[in-house]
Amino acid sequence: MTEQPNTCNSSDKKVSFTADYHPYLKTFYGLPFTQRISDLTGSRAKWEEMVSACQKEEGMSDEEANGILQMATIMEARYKLSGQAIRQTIEKLGIKRGLELAAGFSQRGLEFTRDYPGLVYVESDISDGFKQKPELIRRVADEEGVAMPRGLSFVMLDAQKRGDYKSVLNEFFPNGQAMWIYAEGLFAYWDEEKKANLLGIARDIFTSRPGSKLITPDLSMHNEGRIAMFEHINGYEKLVNFIVKRTKRDYDSLAFPNEQATTAFLDRQRWKYIGLTLGELGVSLNSPDALKIPLAVRTPFVADINRHMKAWVLTPDYT
């Protein structure tokens, strides 16, 4: 049995199931710090343990077990795309304070506070594993010869609970100063009610911090109500079945909206958005060195990611 990465309440465990594998899936394309984080968290072993359990329990073939690593391409696209959106927010809008929700083992806080001195970057999560994140990042910074950035902080925060934001806002995000809130790999698991709750919380926070933005790649991951991009991956369905059984999640309850539905949802919630696609941002995933694993369907697959994946920079509409 693959160990659950945290001891949160049962519905949150389901969201957290994949967090342990993200570091390994991000090691294929030369992003800073990822290899070290993956090594220190034992991410590769956890991934391989899960895939081998999936082979036993779901009849996943060896070929599928190798092919499933193509999920890394999507992780790459998502990481780069949303990174560009945050960079634009920092550089073009001059917003230099950010709160990352559900940060897990992501290296972005370290990467961004290294790249932008003076940046205030607060990472948050609810999982027990996250309590070790400050120590993990300190070790990574140390081993990579990077000074531990002063602007980087870590807090425990349940993104659905208004009360959890209070002390974090008081400490790091003064009234009157614009901020961004960022999440990756979180909203796609949430139904409309949870998404609407988060938008309500963000709107209230942003009211006293005009110009603030919510940034996420999560809302448009899926096309026509199906898991469009991941479906290109041979064996992904078996992995999903496996995860669903492990998490006892009713997968049908994941009502991923298509792009029109996402837009309509945001309109209903009165949020304005700018959707940035990979193409618009000039992010190319076609470099042969970008991902050093064999990718039989790489070209059409990457083209599809380019077509569908967006990073959303969202602003509440106060009018």
What is the binding site for ligand SAM (CB under 6 A)?
Answer: 6, 12, 15-16, 18-19, 22, 101-106, 125-127, 158-160, 184-186
CB of 110 to ligand SAM, least distance (A): 13
CB of 47 to ligand SAM, least distance (A): 13
Nearer to ligand SAM by Cβ, of 221 and 302: the residue is 221
Nearer to ligand SAM by Cβ, of 103 and 302: the residue is 103
Separation of alpha carbons 133 and 141, rounded Å:
12
CB of 81 to ligand SAM, least distance (A): 12
Nearer to ligand SAM by Cβ, of 5 and 149: the residue is 5
Separation of alpha carbons 230 and 273, rounded Å:
25
Nearer to ligand SAM by Cβ, of 158 and 231: the residue is 158
CB of 142 to ligand SAM, least distance (A): 21
CB of 71 to ligand SAM, least distance (A): 12
Nearer to ligand SAM by Cβ, of 75 and 179: the residue is 75
Q: Which residue is nearest to ligand SAM (CB)?
A: 104
CB of 59 to ligand SAM, least distance (A): 25
Nearer to ligand SAM by Cβ, of 243 and 276: the residue is 243
